[in-house]
Amino acid sequence: MKKNMPYSTPEGYFEGLQNRLSEIPARKSRINLTPYLALAASFMLAMLAGNYILMKTTASQPASDDEIVEYLIDSGMTLAQLEDEIYNY
Amino acid sequence: MQEQERFFNDLVRQYSEQLYWHVRGIVGSHEDADDLMQEIFIKAWNALPRFRGDSDPFTWLWRIATNESISFLRKARVRAALSFTRIDAEAERISDPSPYFDGDKALRALRKAIAALPDKQRLVFTMRYYEELSYEQISEITGTSIGALKTSYHIAYEKIKDFLTTTD
């Protein structure tokens, strides 16, 4: 499989990787909330959403790097256009 | 649920190593590939209830992995552009993932040439050259016609040849 690929991995990497990946179902099902917890979570979510909307409408927060990256990708701007904008600024 | 977990663990056992090399071939660095493997298998686990038994798990997993890797590269490039890092410097970073690079100067130059290719060409070249997948398999994974894949591979091959000739 690793034909011509000039890469290696740390010693015993694949055993560790398989173990970590096999833990995903258990980790995900631990997050499986009981109905009461789900109710509490929904309440918290509503509170957070309200708080978020309040923050958005009362103070302007600078966008994070991730938000800017997502926005640029969604806008359909090509990398060449982006570079032009940056280097001709 | 137990059935699903068993199936998932079979996927991990059967494909994780091969899939790692697929992702590594696209993104270059071990750390990035390692992070992506977690993301890919979490996505696979979440999508498992919608996985149809008659589909090929290989194609299904490779499709998730390819989409995740390409999305990762796009974000990395936009981040690099925003932080005033030239794209060729980003390609340099991707092609020079020490300490887990064990190739000579020529192989390093080849990786650099591959890293400088546009996403689609890089993907097709990696899947054909390193993974030796057939055009039919690549077509199923990427949803691109075989004719378009052959064209992309040919263009990638020519670009790499030019790159290696001019950097000699």
CB proximity under 8 Å: B 49-108 to A? 74-75, 77-79, 81-82, 84, 87, 97, 100-104, 107-108
Region B86-111: mean pLDDT is 66
Q: What is the mean pLDDT of chain B?
A: 87
Q: Which pLDDT score, from 0 to 100, does residue B24 have?
A: 92
3-class state of residue A7 by DSSP? strand
A64 min Cα distance to partner chain B (Å): 12
Length of chain A in terms of residues written? 89
Sequence-ordered list of residues with C-beta below 8 angstroms from that of A20, at least 6 positions apart, any chain: B38
User: Is position A21 within any domain?
Assistant: no
Q: How big is chain B by its Cα radius of gyration, in Å?
A: 17
- Cβ–Cβ contact B12 with A under 8 A: yes
**Two tokens, residue A70:** 């997502």
| Closest by Cβ to B100, choosing from A8, A24, A69 | A8
Number of domains in chain A: 1
User: Is position A58 within any domain?
Assistant: yes
Q: Which residue has the higher pLDDT, B85 or B116?
A: B116
User: Is position A70 within any domain?
Assistant: yes
| Closest by Cβ to B132, choosing from A3, A9, A72 | A3
Region B29-47: mean pLDDT is 95
The whole-angstrom distance between residue B1's C-alpha and the CA centroid of its chain comes to: 31
Does the structure's ipTM exceed the value 0.85?
no
Q: Which pLDDT score, from 0 to 100, does residue A3 have?
A: 60
Q: What are phi and psi of B3, to 5 degrees?
A: -60, -45
Q: Which pLDDT score, from 0 to 100, does residue B92 have?
A: 61
Q: Are B22 and B132 in contact (CB under 8 A)?
A: no
- What is the crossing angle of helices A65-74 and B57-82, to 10°? 110
Region B29-41: mean pLDDT is 95
Residues pairing with B101 in the sheet: A7
User: Is position A41 within any domain?
Assistant: yes
Q: Which residue has the higher pLDDT, A32 or A81?
A: A81
Q: A1–B131: do the CB atoms touch at under 8 Å? A: yes
Query: CA torsion B104→B88→B121→B29, rounded to 10°?
Result: 50
Cα(B45)–Cα(B116) distance, rounded to whole angstroms?
Answer: 33
Residues pairing with A7 in the sheet: B101
Region A50-64: mean pLDDT is 75
Q: Which residue has the higher pLDDT, B74 or B106?
A: B74
Q: B100–A17: do the CB atoms touch at under 8 Å? A: no
Q: How many CB atoms lie within 10 A of CB A66?
A: 10
Q: Which residue has the higher pLDDT, B58 or A79?
A: B58
pLDDT at A58 over 80: no
User: Is position A4 within any domain?
Assistant: no
User: What pLDDT, in 10s, does the model give residues B83-97?
Assistant: 766 556 656 665 555
Q: Which pLDDT score, from 0 to 100, does residue A73 have?
A: 82
Range of the domain at A77: 32-88
pLDDT band at B10 (very low <50, low <70, confident <90, very high): very high
- What is the crossing angle of helices B2-27 and B30-47, to 10°? 150
A4 min Cα distance to partner chain B (Å): 7
Q: Are B91 and B115 in contact (CB under 8 A)?
A: yes
- Cβ–Cβ contact A89 with B under 8 A: no
Q: Which residue has the higher pLDDT, B31 or B83?
A: B31
- What is the crossing angle of helices B105-115 and B87-95, to 10°? 130
User: Is position A78 within any domain?
Assistant: yes
Q: Which pLDDT score, from 0 to 100, does residue B146 have?
A: 96
Region B14-29: mean pLDDT is 93
First to last CA, chain B: 56
User: Is position A15 within any domain?
Assistant: no
User: Is position A44 within any domain?
Assistant: yes
Long-range contacts of B31-38 (CB under 8 A, 24+ apart): B31/B97, B32/B72, B34/A17, B36/B65, B36/B68, B36/B69, B36/B72, B37/A17, B37/A21, B38/A20, B38/A21, B38/A24
Length of chain B in terms of residues written? 168
Sequence-ordered list of residues with C-beta below 8 angstroms from that of B29, at least 6 positions apart, any chain: B93, B94, B97
